[in-house]
Amino acid sequence: MSRHTDIRRITAPDIRARKGGEPIVCLTAYTAPVAQILDPHCDLLLVGDSVGMVVHGLPNTVGVTLEMMIMHGQAVMRASEHAMVVIDMPFGTYEASAEQAFTNATRVLKETGAQAVKVEAGTYIAETIAYLVQRGIPVMGHVGLRPQAVNVDGKFRAKGRTSEEREIVLAEAKAADEAGAFAIVIEGVDETLAPEITAAVQAPTIGIGASAQCDGQILVTDDLLGLFEWTPKFVRRYADLKGVIDKAAAEYAADVRGRRFPAAAETYALRVNAARAPRVARGDKRG
């Protein structure tokens, strides 16, 4: 992959400076080929712990490990050069203490070269966010529907649809903002709550199932591309790659079974060297 040294990668201060300005474009990326395609179009690529469900077939994100996130983060960093790359801190790697979070976040940044980490930001995590930021680790918060809390909630469900929930989500966002988060993801909330949060915090907000009034938007790329039969309500499909892949695989299978693949164009032929005539020394006359 060609890399251009004159391209400057977007940074956390660049993202923070977009508050109230041009909307921030974000997508998830887990592999080098996809990251390379998305990179010119995005301001931020998130190596989300959704990789556990999207790539590894897990039922939720709880089973994702730090080693998985590092491996996918390395792939995305190798293939991108423009977008800021943020890596999710998986469940169990940052909640116990600020020191635990710092140890694991430091490892993530050192081993991948990424620029920031993301944590699901209950109010209890604000102290940890401040601890990381003060020690040189940019942090993105994540409020509202928090996938790592699925076992508490029982399922993935929208938040902020009651007055009590609204206060909780708003408090989460304010706490993350005051702790120094450079941006905050707002997922799966009542559409009137996201603009309220956006107005209440200094950090730019990135919506996913939130509101067009957020400072930016993010989607899981595989949902956007139509690789799954079911997608959340908030997803807009921009392609039907599941159908494209299914059709291609069916045609390939039919060609293999019909012995139409490989054909001559897809095979190698024996190279035949032309016979060399005897070399005749200059001036040699044979009659």
Each residue's pLDDT tens digit, 228-266: 988 888 999 999 999 999 999 999 999 999 999 999 999
**pLDDT range class, residue 2, cuts 50, 70, 90:** very low
What confidence score (pLDDT) does residue 5 get?
Answer: 55
Q: Is 14 annotated as a binding residue?
A: no
What confidence score (pLDDT) does residue 156 get?
Answer: 57
Q: Is residue 196 annotated as a catalytic residue, yes or no?
A: no
Q: State mean pLDDT over 155-179.
A: 86
What confidence score (pLDDT) does residue 233 get?
Answer: 87
Domains in the chain, CATH or no CATH each:
12-224 (3.20.20.60)
What confidence score (pLDDT) does residue 28 get?
Answer: 98
Q: State mean pLDDT over 270-279.
A: 68
Which pair of tokens denotes residue 88? Answer: 């999710």
**73 has pLDDT over 90:** yes
Average pLDDT, the chain: 91
Cα distance between residue 167 and residue 157, in whole Å: 17
Q: Is 246 annotated as a binding residue?
A: no
Sign of the CA dihedral running 113, 115, 117, 118 = negative
Catalytic residue among 187, 229, 251, 266: 187
**pLDDT range class, residue 146, cuts 50, 70, 90:** confident
**pLDDT range class, residue 109, cuts 50, 70, 90:** very high
Does residue 40 contact residue 75 with C-beta atoms inside 8 Å? no
Q: Is 2 annotated as a binding residue?
A: no
What confidence score (pLDDT) does residue 281 get?
Answer: 53
Which pair of tokens denotes residue 100? Answer: 């635990």
What confidence score (pLDDT) does residue 174 get?
Answer: 97
Q: Is 247 annotated as a binding residue?
A: no
The DSSP bridge pattern shows strands 44-47 and 24-28 to be: parallel
Buried/exposed code over 188-213 (b: 16+ C-beta within 10 A; e: otherwise): bbbeebbbbbbeebebbbbbbbbbeb
Q: Is 111 annotated as a binding residue?
A: no
